[in-house]
Amino acid sequence: MVANIGYGALIITFIVSLYGIGAGVYGAVQKKPAFIETARRATLLTFPLLTLAAFSLIYLLVNGYYEFEFVTSVTSSSMPVYLRITSLWGGQSGSLLFWSWLMSAFGSAVMLRKWERDGEFLPWVVVVVMVTLGFFLVLTIFFENPFNRIWQTFNGDVVYSVFQPANAMLFPQNDGRGLNPLLRHPGMVIHPPMLYLGFVAFVIPYAFAIAALVTGRTDDRWIRITRRWTLVAWLFLSLGLILGGRWAYDVLGWGGYWGWDPVEIAAFMPWLTGTAFLHSVMIQEKRGMLKHWNMVLIILTYCLVIFGTFLTRSGVLSSVHAFAQSAIGPLFFAFIGLTFIVSLYLLLRRWDELKSENQLTSMLSREALFLLNNLLFMGILVVCFWGVIFPLISELVTNQKVTVGPPFYERATGPLFAGLLFLMGIAPLAAWRHSTARTLGKAIWKPFLVSVAVVAACLLLGVRDLIALLGFWLCAFVSSVTLYEFWRGANARHKINKESLPVALWRLAGRNRRRYGGYVIHLGVILMALGVIGIELFQTETQGTIPQGGTLSLDGYTITYRSLAEFDTPDGRNVARAVIDVSKNGRFLGQLYPRRDYFYESQQPMTIPGVRSTMEDDFYVLLVDWQPVSTAGATFKIYHNPLVNWLWLGGLVFILGTLIAAWPDREAAEPATARTRSVYVQA
């Protein structure tokens, strides 16, 4: 009964989405506000309907209805309730339903805004949102239905279907196969929802951009409406990437956080274009420039969101993050192509109306530096996109799938990332419209001296790697400029208003949250860059087999193997847990407990490292192998990861800055005569 309710809700939602598309287009073309209003209400209706479908599936997961294919594939009786709930996005069909549910939530939320000023946008925003939602509902209902039951025909064939086939009966399982052990980490519980939230939220600014192109609104109104939506999307996507890195560091057992995996890159690419968009829209708001470019960026971001979802779910690329091979790949590809062609057509149709109101007057002005910043982001995007699709191209041409590894990405993107860091230090000091080398030099010299002093300190501490010294100089330079900007603004307010410096800084940031939130984001990026430099340039590793009581050393650290216990747990695991002593330069630091968990249900192992963490470094120990008799010894792999925890600290600062920038301002009420009301409102 519950499954029937959920499946029925999916079907009704699909019909409602089709109606919303038709009513929106008809109401806009025929100028019939009543139809536009029903399209808006149809969008609002999708959320409660999909909530019913999602909660129906969660009920089946929690209560162990193993006659359903999806429940059997991702849950088992030994799993705790919270994992059964989160297994909703642990498989292909459930994750598609979850994606649709979140899309309906964002679509409904945007329908609740006040549309008095922007009624002409409404029908086309509805159409874009409902087309996107309808596409995912097609995938869910017709190709990856989470409510499929397991049937067995009289001749022994197993059939997966919502409805009972002829000559078949239910074939329930006694238990499920359980969730993939790699997905049971807390970071993986939160990481997919954050990515999905970022993906679906980017649909909203895209919808307004398309609405602006259709209606011919060539001003920056659509950007101002969607500024906070874009920041929210970017926040969730950033958080998803950071949590994904933490999951990889804790679970995958290779001592790193980012392996340039195709699915990692698939989530990173829309982040790149979204970040470029957030920077370039400021130029349009301030100077009326880059209107074409901003449209291109948001169209690219939307297409890359769908492309990233396609890579994860089609099975065309091998990845630890990807779902199994599926028949939905061609549909994704067709949808991406169709939306890109339609978007490009609308853009070209309005090309002449989107001409810039001003021109670049100085190559050192802030808008010129922001444009260069965008080009660097696009350079990184091109590298990532080429690396991801190269295996597909090579397979088409040579019938062999040739992949590119981390060295390709690191060598190609490293100089581009360094350029972005440098611009983060220069751009805040440049003026709008016109800036000269002399004025920039006057503003830069103090932070520059501080950065040189930091490099000198690094040399005294024994750092000789030129790339590391360049990285530390860039971090010191950008952080000095950013802190100097905070001090300059707060000091000026302190002198004018006679406020204390902390109060002046607080009120200054409160009056311009977007600017100073951006500065906090920059500080977060610098802290993350320190972690990247530490682990990428100074990471060391070793591996060895040692007997009980034996030792293994790395970079002044020494481990002593004490014992190993192997036992079964009530939740269906076989655990092999080692006990090792850790000392540094002869001083005892404590014990670590690296282990290997083997899950009987899924017949998959998971390696859990033992980690000693400080802000200076991580000492990261893996249990690789062991002999049944403890005296025969065990094999350990050790990583020494300097500065890596600055990466996670920087992620927290990064998220804090985004929250500050996205926090609502108290906006002054607009005059009633600001603009003529739309046809929708007049009716």
450 shares a domain with 577: no
Residue where a domain terminates, one of 149, 179, 209: 179
37 shares a domain with 167: yes
User: What pLDDT is stored for residue 333 in this prediction?
Assistant: 86
With tokens 């989470």, the residue in question is 146
468 shares a domain with 522: yes
Decide if pLDDT at 674 tops 60: no
Of the candidates 531, 561, 581, the one whose C-alpha atom is nearest the C-alpha of residue 625 is: 561
Decide if pLDDT at 671 tops 60: no
d(CA 537, CA 642): 9
Q: What are phi and psi of 641, to 5 degrees?
A: -115, 90
Is 27 inside a domain boundary?
yes
Domain count, the chain: 3
pLDDT band at 669 (very low <50, low <70, confident <90, very high): very low
d(CA 413, CA 532): 13
H or E element, residue 561 = strand 557-568
546 shares a domain with 521: no
User: What pLDDT is stored for residue 357 in this prediction?
Assistant: 79
The first and second tokens of residue 286, run together, are 């301030």
Give Cα 332 distance to the centre of its chain: 20
Is 342 inside a domain boundary?
no
d(CA 657, CA 76): 41
519 shares a domain with 546: no
Give Cα 587 distance to the centre of its chain: 41
Decide if pLDDT at 668 tops 50: no
pLDDT band at 315 (very low <50, low <70, confident <90, very high): low
d(CA 575, CA 5): 41
Is 312 inside a domain boundary?
no
Is 328 inside a domain boundary?
no
Who has greater pLDDT, 202 or 190? 202
Who has greater pLDDT, 152 or 671? 152
Is 492 inside a domain boundary?
yes
575 shares a domain with 471: no
With tokens 């001592």, the residue in question is 255
Is 113 inside a domain boundary?
yes
| Residues 204, 209, 211: CA angle, nearest 5 degrees | 95
Measured torsion, CA atoms of residues 137, 142, 147, 150, in degrees rounded to the nearest 10: -160
pLDDT band at 207 (very low <50, low <70, confident <90, very high): very high
pLDDT band at 571 (very low <50, low <70, confident <90, very high): confident
Is 605 inside a domain boundary?
yes
On whether the pTM is more than 0.95, the answer is no
Percent over 70 (pLDDT), the chain: 94
632 shares a domain with 572: yes
User: What pLDDT is stored for residue 675 in this prediction?
Assistant: 39
3 shares a domain with 95: yes
656 shares a domain with 629: no
143 shares a domain with 57: yes
Decide if pLDDT at 549 tops 60: yes
Residue where a domain terminates, one of 179, 197, 224: 179
Decide if pLDDT at 335 tops 80: yes
1 shares a domain with 132: yes
Please tell me the least confidently modeled range out of 52-61, 394-403, 455-464.
Answer: 394-403
432 shares a domain with 467: yes
User: What pLDDT is stored for residue 361 in this prediction?
Assistant: 81
Decide if pLDDT at 117 tops 80: yes
Segment 456-464 mean pLDDT: 94
The first and second tokens of residue 310, run together, are 């396609």
Who has greater pLDDT, 662 or 579? 579
Give the bridge partners for 161, in sequence order: 149
User: What pLDDT is stored for residue 358 in this prediction?
Assistant: 82
Q: What's the chain's average pLDDT?
A: 90
* DSSP tally for the chain: helices H, then strands E: 20, 13
Question: What domain range includes position 455?
Answer: 412-538+647-662
Segment 141-161 mean pLDDT: 89
H or E element, residue 291 = helix 291-314
- What letter represents residue 636's amino acid? F
Is 473 inside a domain boundary?
yes
pLDDT band at 338 (very low <50, low <70, confident <90, very high): very high
Residue where a domain terminates, one of 135, 158, 179: 179
Q: Transcribe 200-224 into DSSP letters.
A: HHTHHHHHHHHHHHHHT--SSHHHH
d(CA 553, CA 621): 11
User: Helix %, strand %, coil % for the chain, to 5?
Assistant: 65, 15, 25
The first and second tokens of residue 529, run together, are 């860059």
pLDDT band at 4 (very low <50, low <70, confident <90, very high): very high
The first and second tokens of residue 494, run together, are 């302190």
pLDDT band at 186 (very low <50, low <70, confident <90, very high): confident
